């Protein structure tokens, strides 16, 4: 028996030795091949000067993003969103305890820090009232009424996967917020959950264009026939890339997406950098009037603010034509990036941040006496209650967010939205990567995010002594100055209404 055991043992050792020698041989062969390739190629200096070993540099550079995110960056350091911000969204979406202990990690000393002023006699729970309802498009055949504070910003089907769109649609319906289609057109997945829809008309007119790429009244009527489509938004520019049209890489243009957009499968979908048929304020108002007349529904526009003199021209033109000619809403997008693919030169350097542009536009509307007529939607990195409360205090009527809702779906800020490799299945059409994103489960998280956002914005409002969030005013918040002191927002941005 012992002899048999020894024989099997020796045989196993011989097999293992052969396997080990084979692996070593293949490894040496691979190293030799890599060495030859590295010293003969001329594209990368590091690999040519340090063959094989130099390859680790590129691997470490890639892995550095993940190590900084999970191990080295402090809670408040990261960009575009830090760990503290993401953690709040994750907890809100999971509907778990969002309290913290032992003090805040937020540094209030830097200039520009905003904080709210608590009232000595805050609003009691029994005195709080429901969030007020706002009417958009009072001159339309079909105005839109909603009390929603935070809504889903424009993210196209194409940029997002089918499971992601489904989850957002169902979550929006459950929480009572609206969902913007983005410029990629209306898909069945937007409608599937029953949510209110804002149809975005991008510069390429996807979903509402004729065979020549021009805006089609017939297609507008088809879209407006859906009761869920409540408003239309003409996109002039967006935060990720002001001055450049939408970019959907060809790897993400599936047969269905190509059919919805009326483009070719597998080809990059590059939208014009502006609407060819809108060259001035008059033509913008003409487009708004046309879409509103054809659809009977509220129409507004979305823009990143850089140059701003054109707004005075626009508002003067509205007063000349009559108050009914005004856009029913304006979405102010901050130049703080976004979910879409964009050149870094535009992402980093074009347009004003929302913290500067939002109060400026609201002041301009007040100065022209148009603030009551034109509702303002704020968009730009407002993913936590403090950001939403700030926007409402400054004068916004609504807030929209794209990346906040992506976090609620499980986004880990892998920074791969412009590729087809999103590890969470949100921005990829790879079925294997989509497998972990269950629309039903994630829709609950979307609804939780909205509901917890409304709840905590309400907490801020009640602490300031008002009965509901839309009663927040600029004097409820202060901003720290370079000298270490703070001033109220109403001193930084005085009232510009005609009566003052």
103: pLDDT strictly greater than 90: no
As a whole-number percent, the residues of the chain with pLDDT over 90 amount to: 53
pLDDT of 452-494, one tens digit each? 999 999 999 999 999 999 999 999 999 999 998 999 999 998 8
pLDDT grade, residue 346 (50/70/90)? Answer: confident
More confidently predicted of 34 and 179: 179
| C-alpha–C-alpha distance, residues 182 and 202, integer Å | 8
Phi-psi region of 9 (alpha: psi -120 to 50; beta: other; left: phi over 0): alpha
Looking at residue 451, its pLDDT comes to 96
* Residue 8: pLDDT over 80: no
Identify the weakest region by mean pLDDT among 218-232, 250-264, 334-348: 334-348
The least confident of 102-111, 295-304, 326-335, 341-350 is 341-350
Predicted pLDDT of residue 188? 93
**Tokens found for residue 304:** 């990143």
And the tokens for 152? 């889903």
Residues 53/39, Cβ–Cβ less than 8 Å: no
**Count of residues in the chain:** 500
Confidence of residue 316 (pLDDT cuts 50, 70, 90): very high
Please report the pLDDT score of residue 397 as a whole number.
97
Helix (H/G/I), strand (E/B), else coil: 401? strand
Per-residue pLDDT, averaged over 99-110, amounts to 80
pLDDT band, very low/low/confident/very high, at 411 (cuts 50, 70, 90): confident
pLDDT confidence band for 393 (50 / 70 / 90): very high
Every domain of the chain and the residues it spans: 2-72, 125-492
What does DSSP assign to residue 103? -
465 three-class SS: coil
- The strand pairing partners of 401, in sequence order, are 152
Among the listed ranges 8-22, 79-93, 158-172, 186-200, which one has the minimum average pLDDT value?
8-22
Asked if 179 and 151 touch (Cβ cutoff 8 Å), the reply is yes
Residue range 282-290: average pLDDT? 97
Read off the pTM: 0.86
Rounded to an integer, the average pLDDT of 281-285 is 96
pLDDT band at 351 (very low <50, low <70, confident <90, very high): confident
Q: Where are the beta strands (DSSP E) in 46-187?
A: 114-116, 134-136, 144-146, 150-152, 178-180
CATH tag, 125-492: 3.20.20.70
In degrees, to the nearest 5, what angle opens at C-alpha 22 toward C-alphas 20 and 25?
A: 110
Residues 159-216 pLDDT 10s: 889 999 999 999 999 999 999 999 989 999 999 999 999 999 999 999 998 888 899 9
Give dist(CA 179, CA 177) in Å, integer: 7
pLDDT class for 401, splitting at 50, 70, 90? very high
Band of pLDDT at residue 339, cut at 50, 70 and 90: low
What is the model's pLDDT at position 350?
80
Which residues, in sequence order, are bridge partners of residue 116?
477
């Amino acid at each position: 028996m012992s002899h048999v055991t020894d024989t099997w043992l020796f045989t196993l050792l011989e097999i293992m030795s052969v396997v080990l020698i084979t692996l070593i041989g293949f490894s040496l062969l691979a190293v030799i091949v890599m060495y030859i390739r590295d010293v003969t190629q001329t594209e990368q200096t590091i690999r040519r000067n340090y063959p094989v070993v130099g390859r680790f540099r590129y691997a470490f550079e890639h892995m550095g993003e993940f190590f900084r995110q999970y191990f080295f960056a402090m809670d408040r350091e990261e960009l575009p969103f830090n760990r503290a911000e993401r953690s709040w969204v994750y907890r809100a979406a999971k509907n778990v305890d969002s309290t913290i202990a032992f003090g805040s990690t937020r540094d209030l000393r830097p200039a520009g820090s905003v904080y709210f002023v608590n009232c000595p006699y805050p609003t009691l729970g029994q005195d709080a009232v429901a969030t007020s309802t706002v009417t958009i498009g009072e001159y339309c055949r079909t105005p839109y009424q909603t009390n929603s504070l935070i809504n889903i910003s424009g993210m196209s089907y194409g940029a997002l996967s089918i499971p992601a769109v489904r989850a957002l649609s169902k979550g929006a319906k459950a929480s009572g917020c609206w969902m913007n289609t983005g410029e990629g057109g209306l898909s069945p997945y937007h409608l599937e959950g029953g949510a209110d829809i804002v149809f975005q008309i991008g510069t390429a007119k996807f979903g509402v264009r004729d065979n020549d790429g021009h805006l089609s009244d017939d297609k507008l009527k088809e879209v407006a026939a859906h009761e869920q489509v409540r408003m239309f938004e003409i996109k002039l520019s967006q935060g990720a890339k002001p001055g450049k049209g939408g970019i959907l890489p060809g790897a993400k243009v599936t047969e269905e997406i190509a059919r919805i957009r009326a483009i070719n499968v597998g080809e990059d979908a590059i939208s014009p950098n502006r609407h060819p048929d809108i060259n001035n304020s008059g033509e913008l108002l003409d487009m708004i009037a046309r879409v509103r007349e054809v659809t009977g529904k509220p129409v507004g526009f979305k823009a990143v603010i850089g140059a701003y003199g054109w707004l005075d021209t626009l508002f003067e033109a509205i007063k000349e034509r009559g108050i009914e000619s005004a856009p029913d809403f304006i979405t102010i997008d901050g130049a703080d990036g976004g979910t879409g693919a964009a050149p870094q030169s535009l992402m980093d350097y074009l347009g004003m941040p929302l913290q500067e542009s939002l109060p400026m536009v609201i002041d301009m509307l007040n100065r022209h006496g148009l603030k009551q007529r034109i509702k303002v939607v704020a968009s730009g990195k407002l993913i936590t209650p403090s950001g939403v409360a700030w926007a409402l205090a400054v004068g916004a009527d609504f807030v929209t967010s794209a990346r906040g809702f992506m976090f609620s779906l499980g986004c880990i800020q892998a920074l791969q939205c412009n590729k087809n490799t999103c590890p969470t299945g949100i921005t990829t059409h790879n079925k294997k990567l989509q497998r972990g994103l269950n629309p039903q489960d994630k829709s609950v998280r979307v609804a939780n995010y909205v509901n917890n956002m409304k709840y905590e914005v309400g907490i801020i409002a009640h602490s300031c002594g008002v009965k509901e969030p839309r009663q927040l005013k600029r004097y409820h918040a202060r901003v720290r100055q370079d000298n270490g002191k703070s001033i109220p927002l109403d001193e930084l941005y005085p009232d510009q209404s005609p009566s003052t």
